[in-house]
Structure formats: structure tokens, C-alpha cells
Amino acid sequence: KAGVTQTPRYLIKTRGQQVTLSCSPISGHRSVSWYQQTPGQGLQFLFEYFSETQRNKGNFPGRFSGRQFSNSRSEMNVSTLELGDSALYLCASTDPGRMNTEAFFGQGTRLTVV
Amino acid sequence: GENVEQHPSTLSVQEGDSAVIKCTYSDSASNYFPWYKQELGKRPQLIIDIRSNVGEKKDQRIAVTLNKTAKHFSLHITETQPEDSAVYFCAASIGTNAGKSTFGDGTTLTVKP
């Protein structure tokens, strides 16, 4: 079974631009969650999508948005980029058919805003 | 919402010693507590988890304990080895919302040979 795939692996953007990150979950996993990881801040939950609907949302500004397609692939969009958005963005997929299940993480997209 | 606090933020031990990392959570509805290990430049990976109906779980050199009353859980690593050096994250979630986990800030464990 293929793992969680995130593209691209690295991105450099300028302040004010927007960016779209992609995540392909493990086959059969319908839940995709997004996290922001910064040094010293751990993993901050952004949002979770399940069956094309946003099911949970963290405490991030509206500049951060996402969506999920019918094949469970998910995209995350950040508009009007700020320097503080520089981080590693991780997505994780889970199997909602099982209660209390682990999250399988992708390798992440390293976003640098200059 | 849920809040997870993790201590210590850094931990240095000698090879062969034990390491203990502690986490507390705030939401009594949380019932799933996984621990993830993230090596430098790699993705977090699950190393052990515990559910709220269990007080302790062990897997070789790794064990996790859970105290539901006090709302805290701990990771114990015995006979540490240099390859145990990594960042460890605890997390808490509610079973019906497995896709939303609240993570601790992480513990950087360094095992000195």
C-alpha cells in the first residue's frame, strides 16, 4: 500500500503570494488532516476533511483553507502569504472505519516565505 | 477545546539509561493517546498508543501509562540507544474524531553514547 504523498516537497514564495499544497492519502482513507509544524511550536492542527467536507477546524486565520476531492485527495491553500507562514506542512490520513486509529503522515511540504 | 502539555521539552540521557516523557490533557472525553517519533528530516511515525480503557501498554523497550483520573499519560523508554534520539510527540483525540489530534509541543530526546 502506498503511503501518504505530499507535493511539492519544497516551496519558496514571496510575501503576498498564495500557495496550494497537495496531499494524497493512503488508499481507502477518507479522512485527511493538515498540520503546521514550526520549531518549538509542535504540530498545530489546521483542519480535517472527511468525505469532501470540512469536519474540524483549528485556530488559524481564514487565509488558510482547504478542500477534498471525491478521490479523497486534499489540497490546502494559503493566501496573502506572511513571513510567519514559513513552516513544514504535514498532512495525515486516517481510516475512519476504525475507532481510535493512528494518523499516517506524509513527508511534508517545506514552505519558505521570503 | 483540548489542550495537551508535554514535558520536558528537551531530555538528554546516557545510553542504557531510561527516559520518561510526560503529557497532560484537559478534555476528559479524549480516549485515544498515541505517541509519535520524528527523526530529523522525517515524518512523524506512531511508536505506541493507548486507549482509555487500558492503564498501561508495553512494546519491548517502550511503555506507555495512562492515568484517566489525573488526565496524564507518560512514555517510558528503557535501555535507551543512540537511535532513540529524536523528537517525541504525545497526542490526544476523541475516538469519533480520530482525524483531529491535539499534539504536545514535543520532546527532543538525545541519547549520548
Q: pLDDT tens for residues B46-103?
A: 999 998 888 999 999 999 999 999 999 999 999 999 999 999 999 998 875 667 889 9
Q: Cis link prior to B8 (omega < 30° from 0)?
A: yes
pLDDT category of residue A103 using cuts at 50, 70 and 90: confident
Q: Which residues contact A59 (CB under 8 A, 6 or more apart)?
A: none
Q: What is the DSSP letter of B97?
A: G
- pLDDT above 70 as % of chain A: 94
Strand stretches in chain A, DSSP E:
5-7, 10-13, 19-24, 31-38, 42-50, 53-57, 64-68, 74-78, 87-94, 104-105, 109-113
Give how far A27 is from chain B: nearest CA, Å: 16
Interface test with B, best of A29, A32, A45, A74 (most B CBs within 10 A): A45
Q: What is the pLDDT of residue B97?
A: 62
Q: Is A36 on the interface with B (CB under 8 A)?
A: no
Average pLDDT estimate for B100-110: 92
Give how far B94 is from chain A: nearest CA, Å: 7
Q: What is the pLDDT of residue A39?
A: 81
For chains A and B, what is the number of CB pairs under 8 angstroms?
A: 72
Q: Over chain A, what is the mean pLDDT?
A: 92
pLDDT by residue (tens digit) across A51-95? 999 988 999 999 999 999 999 999 999 999 999 999 999 999 988
Give how far A23 is from chain B: nearest CA, Å: 14
pLDDT by residue (tens digit) across B23-33? 999 999 999 99
Which residues of chain B have a CB within 8 Å of the CB of A105?
36, 43-45
Residues A105/A4, Cβ–Cβ less than 8 Å: yes
pLDDT category of residue A99 using cuts at 50, 70 and 90: low
- Pick B98's closest partner by Cβ from A101, A106, A108: A101
Q: How far, in Å, are B21, B54, B67, B90 from residue B72 at the CA level? A: 11, 13, 5, 11
Cα–Cα–Cα angle for B102, B105, B107, rounded to 5 degrees: 125
Q: Is A6 on the interface with B (CB under 8 A)?
A: no
- Rounded CA-CA distance B23/B42 in Å is 23
| A79: exposed, middle or buried (Cβ count in 10 Å: 0-12, 13-18, 19+) | middle
